[in-house]
Amino acid sequence: MAPYDRADYVYDPEKEESGFDRRTARTFDSDAGASHTTKRSPTDLERRYDGWEATPICNKESFGGKADYNQVNELMDTLLMQNGKPEVGAGPKKCAMAGCKNGNSIWFCNDPTTIADIERASNQSLLWGPYRPNLYFGVRPRIPESLLIGLLWAKVEDYQSVQHNFRHTCEQHEGMAGYGWERYDPRHGGVQTIHDAGNQIDITTSFFKETGEGSGDRGGNWGVRIKGVPRADAQEDLKSTVVFYASTEGQGLNNRLEVKNVDELQGGGFDGDVVLKGENLGLGEYKIVVKGDEGTENKHPSVTHPSGSEKDLGKTLVKSSTVPEDAIWQTKPILFAMLKEQIDEYVEKYTKENPPPPFQLYTIKSEAGSGNVHFVQKVFEGAFEFDVLFSSSAAESELASSDLSKGISEIVKTFDTRFDSIFKPAAPFNSGKYLDFSKSLFSNLLGGIGYFHGNSRVDRSYAPEYEEDNEGFWEEAAEARARADVKLEGPNELFTSIPSRPFFPRGFLWDEGFHLMPVVDWDIDLTLQIVKSWFALIDEDGWIGREQILGAEARSKVPEEFQVQYPHYANPPTLFFILSAFVDKLTETAPSSKDAEYSPQLLDKEVATSYLKELYPLLKRHYNWFRKTQQGDISSYDRKAVNTKEGYRWRGRTPRHILTSGLDDYPRAQPPHPGELHVDAISWVGLMATSLQKIGLFLNEKEDVEKYTKQLTGIRSNIADLHWSEKDGVFCDATIDEFEENSLVCHKGYISLFPFMLGLLDPADDGNKIAKILATIGNKEELWSEHGIRSLSIADEAYGTDENYWRSPVWINMNYLIVSRLVALAQDPTAGSDNQKTATKLYTDLRINLVETVYKSWKETGFAWEQYNPETGAGQRTQHFTGWTSMIVKILGMPDLSKGSAKVRDEL
Q: Tell me the C-alpha distance between 689 and 713, whole Å.
A: 10
Q: Tell me the C-alpha distance between 633 and 639, whole Å.
A: 10
Helix axes 679-698, 605-629, angle to 10 degrees: 150
Helix (H/G/I), strand (E/B), else coil: 190: strand
Q: Give yes or no for a contact between 199 and 175, defined as CB atoms under 8 angstroms apart.
A: yes
The upper half-sphere exposure of residue 509, i.e. CA atoms within 13 Å in the direction of its Cβ, equals 24
The C-alpha R_g of the chain, in whole angstroms, comes to 29
**Which of 457, 542, 553, 439 is CA-nearest to residue 506?**
553
Q: Tell me the C-alpha distance between 62 and 491, whole Å.
A: 9
Amino acid identity for residue 862 in this structure = G
Residues facing residue 316 across a β-bridge: 270
DSSP H/E element including 771: helix 767-777
Q: Among residues 367, 664, 704, 721, which one is catalytic?
A: 664
700 to each of 578, 604, 694, 881, how far by Cα in Å? Answer: 20, 18, 10, 40
Which backbone phi and psi does 891 adopt, to 5 degrees?
-65, -40
Amino acid identity for residue 616 in this structure = Y
Q: Give yes or no for a contact between 332 and 152, defined as CB atoms under 8 angstroms apart.
A: yes
Q: Tell me the C-alpha distance between 258 and 136, whole Å.
A: 25
Q: Tell me the C-alpha distance between 553 and 328, whole Å.
A: 10
Residue 418, exposed/middle/buried by CB under 10 A (0-12, 13-18, 19+)?
Answer: middle
Q: Tell me the C-alpha distance between 650 and 55, whole Å.
A: 42
Amino acid identity for residue 245 in this structure = Y
Q: Among residues 111, 182, 293, 866, which one is catalytic?
A: 866
Q: Tell me the C-alpha distance between 532 and 174, whole Å.
A: 36
**Which of 793, 812, 669 is CA-nearest to residue 742?**
669
- Number of residues that this document lists for the chain: 908
Q: Tell me the C-alpha distance between 90 and 113, whole Å.
A: 12
Q: Tell me the C-alpha distance between 749 and 760, whole Å.
A: 17
Active site residue 866: yes
Active site residue 664: yes
615 to each of 402, 586, 624, 628, 703, how far by Cα in Å? Answer: 43, 16, 14, 20, 18
In this structure, how many other beta carbons lie within 10 angstroms of the beta carbon of residue 784? 21
In the chain the first and final C-alpha atoms are separated, in Å, by 50
Helix (H/G/I), strand (E/B), else coil: 367: strand
Q: How are beta strands 373-381 and 384-392 bridged, if at all?
A: unpaired
Q: Tell me the C-alpha distance between 58 and 46, whole Å.
A: 12
Three-state SS for 654-715 is CCCCEHHHCCCCCCCCCCCCCCCECHHHHHHHHHHHHHHHHHHHHCCCHHHHHHHHHHHHHH
Which backbone phi and psi does 693 adopt, to 5 degrees?
-60, -45
Amino acid identity for residue 352 in this structure = K
Burial 483-494 (b: 16+ CB within 10 A, else e): ebeeeeebbbbb
Three-state SS for 716-753 is HHHHHHHHEECCCCEECEEEECCCCCEEEECCCEHHHH
Amino acid identity for residue 174 in this structure = E
Catalytic residues: 664, 866
